[in-house]
Amino acid sequence: MMPTVIQIPSPVDPSAEGATPDRASEPAVSMAKAIQLRGFSAWYSAHQVLSAVDLDIAANRVCALIGPSGCGKSTLLRWMNRMNDTILGARASGSLHLHGLQVLSPDLDVVDLRRRVGMVFQKPNPFPKSIFDNVAFGPRLHRQYGRTDLEELVEQSLRSSALWTEVKDRLHRSALGLSGGQQQRLCIARAIAVDPEVLLMDEPCSALDPRSTASIEELIRELRETYTIVIVTHNMQQASRVSDTTAFFDEGRLIETGETDEVFTAPRERRTEDYVSGRFG
């Protein structure tokens, strides 16, 4: 079941080694490298999807991954929390360090990795449980909480995804009764509740209306103070609005990466320029 994970020991000693796990006391903005990829390649069976990607993503910043459909953005994201383990024939090589963890290592405790790296999916996928139980799901997996602690945790998580005021009177009703935008914010709250270090978002707004999108974008900008966020988006304006850095991929290669302003206003590469200005293809 487990795909073969080829681990090529990285010559680069990741500066993120020993990044303190106790982030609550860390300064809000740190330029420490949260995620570092060197020579990262990925395959589905024999089909190579990413080749030799070198990318650094700084802690407490928002990094947008952009690029045409099929260029491997989701694949990269799904390797960061090893969700690709669920896909038969998925392989990767190179190195992927995340807060000092060697993500591709076969000995890695993926369960712990996924606790530290939250993920928000393209389509909202709340459990068919109550709103409260959705948010409490993750915390209950990893720790034993007192009742009041758990209630407070759920409240703060819902507040941090700006959903609290809308749902505080119906915490014990089914999450499936929420609107799409609310469901997506619930999924964000659910991811936040396990105290992750990194949040991965794969086109989190693509199934939502503009107003819900706006509220989630605002959320992302606020959450970056606490989390490192990697977001995949097809919406160039969204990328420029929410992200600090942008990485542009095409045909499985990283074409360009840098501060978002630069990538959008003064791209170094012709292909990037074509893509961000909509002249692509």
Partner 1 sequence: MSAGRAIPIARRLRHDRMLLIACLSATTLAVAVLSALLISVFIQGLSSLDWHFLSSYASRKAANAGILAPLMGTLWVCAICGLIAVPLGVATALYLEEYAPRTRLRSLVQLNIANLSGVPSIVYGILGLAAFARCFGAISTDDPWTLGSPDSLFFLQLPFGRGVLAGGLTLALVVLPIMIIAAQEALRTVPKSLRHAALALGSTRWQVVWKVTLPAALPTMMTGAILSMSRAIGEAAPLLVIGGVLLLFSVPENLMSDFTVLPLQIYNWAGRPQDDFHKIAAGAIIVQLVLLLLFNSVALFIRHKLQRPLQ
Partner 2 sequence: MTAIAARAAAELAQRGRVRGVAFRRFYERLLHFGLLGLTLLSVLTTVAIIVVLVKESGGFFFMEGSEVTFVSFFTGTVWSPLLGAKPQYGVLPLVGGTVLVTSIAGLFALPIGLLTAVFLSEYASPRTRMLLKAILEVLAGIPTVVYGFFALTFITPYLLQPLSDRFGTYNAMGAGIAVGIMILPIVCSLSEDALRGVPQSLRDGAYALGSTKFDVTARVVVPAGLSGIVAAFLLALTRAIGETMIVALAAGGLAQLTANPAEQVQTMTAYMVQIFLGDAPANGIEYRSSYAVAMTLFAITFVMTWTGALVLKRYREEYE
Ligand X SMILES: Nc1ncnc2c1ncn2[C@@H]1O[C@H](COP(=O)(O)OP(=O)(O)OP(=O)(O)O)[C@@H](O)[C@H]1O
Measured from the CB atom, the residue of 133 and 250 that comes closer to Mg ion is 250
* Spatial distance between the Cα atoms of 140 and 238, rounded to a whole number of angstroms: 34
Which of the listed partners (ligand X, partner 2, partner 1, none) does 86 bind, with a CB threshold of 5 to 8 Å by partner kind?
Answer: partner 1
Tell me if residue 197 falls in helix, strand or coil: coil
CA distances from 108 to 17, 33, 114, 177 (A): 15, 20, 11, 38
Candidates 19-27, 52-60, 70-78, 185-193; binding stretch for ligand X (CB under 6 A): 70-78
As measured in angstroms, the least distance from the Cβ of 258 to Mg ion is 22
Q: Which of 87, 111, 141, 266 binds ligand X (CB under 6 A)?
A: 87
Q: Given the DSSP bridges, would you call strands 90-98 and 101-102 parallel, antiparallel or unpaired?
A: antiparallel
Binding residues for partner 2, rule: CB under 8 A, are: 23-24, 109, 111-112, 139, 141-146, 149-150, 152-153, 156-157, 159-162, 164, 192-195, 219, 222-223, 225-227
**Total residues interacting with partner 1, rule: CB under 8 A:** 32
Candidates 124-132, 145-153, 229-237, 259-267; binding stretch for partner 1 (CB under 8 A): 124-132
Which of the listed partners (partner 2, Mg ion, partner 1, none) does 123 bind, with a CB threshold of 5 to 8 Å by partner kind?
Answer: partner 1
Decide: is 72 part of the binding site for ligand X (CB under 6 A): yes
Measured from the CB atom, the residue of 67 and 139 that comes closer to partner 2 is 139
Measured from the CB atom, the residue of 162 and 236 that comes closer to partner 2 is 162
Decide: is 74 part of the binding site for Mg ion (CB under 5 A): yes
Q: Tokens 């606790």 belong to which residue?
A: 115
Decide: is 118 part of the binding site for partner 1 (CB under 8 A): yes
Structure tokens at 135: 């948010």
Q: Tokens 């074509």 belong to which residue?
A: 274
Q: Given the DSSP bridges, would you call strands 33-44 and 47-58 parallel, antiparallel or unpaired?
A: antiparallel
Q: Name the helix (H) or strand (E) containing 229.
A: strand 228-232
Decide: is 177 part of the binding site for ligand X (CB under 6 A): no
CA distances from 27 to 161, 192, 220, 225, 248 (A): 21, 19, 18, 9, 29
Which of the listed partners (partner 1, partner 2, ligand X, none) does 102 bind, with a CB threshold of 5 to 8 Å by partner kind?
Answer: none
Which amino acid is it at 56? D
Q: Given the DSSP bridges, would you call strands 47-58 and 62-66 parallel, antiparallel or unpaired?
A: unpaired
Binders of partner 1 among 63-82, rule CB under 8 A? 81
Measured from the CB atom, the residue of 47 and 270 that comes closer to ligand X is 47
As measured in angstroms, the least distance from the Cβ of 54 to partner 2 is 30
Backbone angles phi, psi at 88, to 5 degrees: -65, 130
Instruction: Give the largest Cα separation in the chain, rounded.
Output: 57
* Spatial distance between the Cα atoms of 170 and 181, rounded to a whole number of angstroms: 16
* Spatial distance between the Cα atoms of 186 and 189, rounded to a whole number of angstroms: 5
Which of the listed partners (partner 2, partner 1, Mg ion, none) does 44 bind, with a CB threshold of 5 to 8 Å by partner kind?
Answer: none
* Spatial distance between the Cα atoms of 225 and 228, rounded to a whole number of angstroms: 8
Give the binding site for Mg ion (CB under 5 A).
74
Residues that bind partner 1 (CB under 8 A): 1, 81, 83, 86, 88, 111-116, 118-119, 121, 123, 125-130, 137-138, 141-142, 172-174, 187, 190-191, 194
